[in-house]
Structure 1
Amino acid sequence: MKESYVLIVTAFFMSITIGRDLSANTPQPPNLPAVGPTVIRLPALIKSKDINLSVPEEFRVDLLIDGLSFPRWLLALPNGDLLVSQSRTESLPGMPEETVKLLASMNIFGPSPNNILYIDLQKKEPKVKVILENLNQPFGMLYLNEELFIANTDSIIKYDFKGYNIQGNGKRIISLPA
């Protein structure tokens, strides 16, 4: 019996609601100007020898590492060393081939290093070594409890990272749509 009351009340409410003009209570969108042409600001490649930095007298700027290939993310480790993910967009699905070629000629698209570098800052001269390769456009990194998490375009992978060294193969903990 209770179920039939619920159905009757629901049907009554719906009949009242359907007959109303709900747009009367909806705020009207603001009057915005027409959308103009899209502007893309393209990055310019600057050689480190061409950079002329100026800083206040109390500060000093030194070049730490040169020759990185499309660094994307920097992670400072608790021991003072650094990790750098290197990746770049190779192309975009569905983009016209002539557009991809144009962007590649402008050095925006192209082969991706798809790796992680370890930069040892414990020595007088920083030492760089590749610790992970063949990733899928790695971006973010997180170091937590002697584990290293790498966010790729299509997944998040966890590596044992005891003593700041990769131990074994990584374990895919999340797959992402790419």
Structure 2
Amino acid sequence: MDLMAKAVQAVGAVMVALRKRHLPPQQAMGDSPSIPQAREQGIMTLKMPTARGWALGEKPKAAAGLQVNAFATELQHPRWIEVLPNGDVLVAEALQQERKPRDLMDHAMVATMRRAKATGHSANRVTLWRDSDGDGVAETREVFVENQHQPFGMALVGDTFYLGNTDGIVSFPYVPGAVRLEGAGKRLVEFKPGGHWTRSLLASPDGKRIYAGVGSLSNIGDSGMEVEKGRAAIWELDLETGNARIFAGGLRNPVGLAWEPQTGALWTVVNERDGLGDETPPDYLTSVKDGGFYGWPYCYWGQTVDDRVPQDAGLVASALQPDYALGGHTASLGLCWMPAGTLPGFGDGMVIGQHGSWNRSVLSGYKLIFVPFANGRPSGPPRDILSGFLSEDEKFSRGRPVGVAIGPDGKSLLMADDVGDVIWRVSAA
């Protein structure tokens, strides 16, 4: 790290110490969170642990009654998981591309992201992992598709495989059991790349539509709203007509997508804005209404106005309040529905991979958690499934949770760890 980055980080460390004096008494969690009043930071809090990885013999801490093992290792920044009907496990390996810093603070941020293994050279591929003997450890690895553009979300519908690159959705013909896709793929939808670059995908239960999460370019529309058109939204692609539209907007960075089976509602996890405090506003889990607007960048958690942003009173008035707060800056990314009986001691609910904060005086996230559901709604406080990714002194990370999926056997969870370069498998002890 150069002297400029070190100097800015030193200033940032002083700001972290000062902000610890105003720590909220509790995390903003649940359906009625206590959200502190915004405290505009000026100099952004910049605190990210160094990416260390897992030492020999180390692994995450599993909740009581569960165990964890490495399903696949030696990946290159694994981000997202898709389990095919035949049990093959696909893993998207991609990374934020390093860019030239824009200013002094950005210089420090880029250097910090590099140290935390959050930016660099992207593998730009999807690998296929096969556990032929069913022992919970993959024996074979194949390159399923390569030379993509920061691939992330995946979906299989019939004999067509869909891949969410940062610049759009592409489709490939798929033959059951194939270990590699053939051809260049067909571009179906174009998205603006950069900024929040991940493009999660989820097929509708009837296989007629694909939904895609597209994050904002910036924190709060910093370069104006013209460049944000088509972003901070969930898109819907009609597979029969090829028409694509924005399904819901005002979602700063919607990443994981999942269906709640009782109501049939679409749910997502969203990363909220920075620069207003450790718990303000919280990231959230919410159902998503067709045509709904969720506030970004004008307001948050309903109609709480962000006065840093030129306002639109009509959009503020229409903003929907999210369903369930997940704590400030937890970077909740991964999401899947877990039915009762998948893991002992856990009922119906959503599993969430919390990548972890970089912009709080006390770090948050760095866990795999479970939110219980009843009657189609969250029904209680979250529970840890996996923890131990962050060192006790917050100086380094052993791993960072991202994508999550139900394992091929229906009795396990798979979770991508993009610092440990591992796919972890959680099952009954």
Pair 1:119-2:129 in alignment:
yes
Is the CA contact (8 Å cut-off) linking 2:101 and 2:107 kept in structure 1? no
Alpha carbons of 1:92 and 1:167: their partners in 2 closer, same or farther (altered >3 Å)?
same
Deviation for aligned residue 1:119: 0.6
Partner SS for 2:66: coil
Q: For residue 38 of structure 1, what is the aligned residue in structure 2?
A: 44
Partner SS for 2:126: strand
Deviating more after overlay: 114-123 vs 98-107: 98-107
Distance in 2, Cα, partners of 1:48 & 1:67: 13
Q: Percent identity?
A: 23
Q: For residue 129 of structure 1, what is the aligned residue in structure 2?
A: 142
Alpha carbons of 1:35 and 1:65: their partners in 2 closer, same or farther (altered >3 Å)?
same
1:51 to 36, 59, 64: 59
Alpha carbons of 1:54 and 1:72: their partners in 2 closer, same or farther (altered >3 Å)?
closer
Partner SS for 2:152: coil
Alpha carbons of 1:33 and 1:111: their partners in 2 closer, same or farther (altered >3 Å)?
closer
Is the CA contact (8 Å cut-off) linking 1:74 and 1:82 kept in structure 2? yes
Pair 1:107-2:114 in alignment:
no
Is the CA contact (8 Å cut-off) linking 1:81 and 1:118 kept in structure 2? yes
Is the CA contact (8 Å cut-off) linking 1:88 and 1:137 kept in structure 2? yes
CA deviation map 1:97-146 (0-9, x unaligned): 84434532442211000000011122465211112111100111111102
Partner SS for 1:162: coil
Amino acid at match of 2:78: P
Q: Which runs of 5+ in 2 are unaligned?
A: 1-36, 194-429
2:98 to 87, 91, 99: 91
**What RMSD, in angstroms, separates the aligned Cα atoms of the two structures?**
2.5
Deviation for aligned residue 1:60: 3.2
Alpha carbons of 1:159 and 1:45: their partners in 2 closer, same or farther (altered >3 Å)?
farther
Q: Which runs of 5+ in 1 are unaligned?
A: 1-31
CA deviation map 1:132-177 (0-9, x unaligned): 1111001111111021100001011001111242243311111112
> TM-score w.r.t. structure 1 length?
0.69
Deviation for aligned residue 1:68: 1.1
Amino acid at match of 1:121: D
Matches within 5 A, 1:1-178: 32-36=37-41, 37-42=43-48, 44-47=51-54, 49=56, 50-51=58-59, 53-56=61-64, 58-92=65-99, 95-96=102-103, 98-99=107-108, 100-123=110-133, 125-165=138-178, 166-178=181-193
Is the CA contact (8 Å cut-off) linking 2:125 and 2:143 kept in structure 1? yes
Greater fraction of residues in helix: 1
CA deviation map 1:61-110 (0-9, x unaligned): 22211111111100011111100000000124764484434532442211
Deviation for aligned residue 1:54: 4.4
Amino acid at match of 1:150: L
Amino acid at match of 2:48: L
Amino acid at match of 2:70: L
Distance in 2, Cα, partners of 1:52 & 1:73: 18
Deviation for aligned residue 1:42: 2.5
Is the CA contact (8 Å cut-off) linking 1:136 and 1:154 kept in structure 2? yes
Amino acid at match of 2:187: R
Distance in 1, Cα, partners of 2:183 & 2:60: 43
Deviating more after overlay: 149-158 vs 123-132: 123-132
Amino acid at match of 2:185: G
Distance in 2, Cα, partners of 1:38 & 1:87: 27
Is the CA contact (8 Å cut-off) linking 1:81 and 1:121 kept in structure 2? yes
Deviation for aligned residue 1:55: 4.5
Q: Which has the higher contact order (CA 8 A, sep 6+)?
A: 2
Partner SS for 2:73: coil
Q: Which protein shows a greater Rg? A: 1
